[in-house]
Structure 1
C-alpha cells in the first residue's frame, strides 16, 4: 500500500524505469483484477519495485534548486 502523494518506481529486466504518482493510478474494488501500470514486452518482467515517499520528493526538489543556483 502507498499513500496518494507517494511515487512508485518500477524497474524491468530490460532496464526500463517508470516513476508515477500513486494518485494517478486508479483504485480497484476487491473483485477487480488490478490495473496495468506498465505494458511489458513478452520477454521482459518487473525486476524491482520501490516507493519514493513525499518527504524524499521534497528533498529532491531542494537539491535540484540548490544545484541550479
Structure 2
C-alpha cells in the first residue's frame, strides 16, 4: 500500500492528473484539482470544447427515426 493511500490528516491525498498522468494534490490548496496545474486543466477544457471527448453513438431506435432516415 502506498503511503498516500493511508488516511492521514497530515498528508495531502495524491491522485493521478487526468491529462499528464503526474501526481496531483487533491486538496483545497490546489485550485486546479484533480489536475496538477492550470496548463493541464486548460488542455482538458480545450479537448471538451473541440469535442475530442465523445460518447460512442449508435443509431436511434427504430421508433425514433425521422421520416428522412427511414
Q: Same fold (TM over 0.5)?
A: no
Q: Which structure's residues are more often strand, by fraction? A: 1
Instruction: Report 1 or 2 for greater relative contact order, CA contacts < 8 Å, sequence distance ≥ 6.
Output: 1
**Bigger CA radius of gyration:** 2
- Return the TM-score normalized by structure 2: 0.27
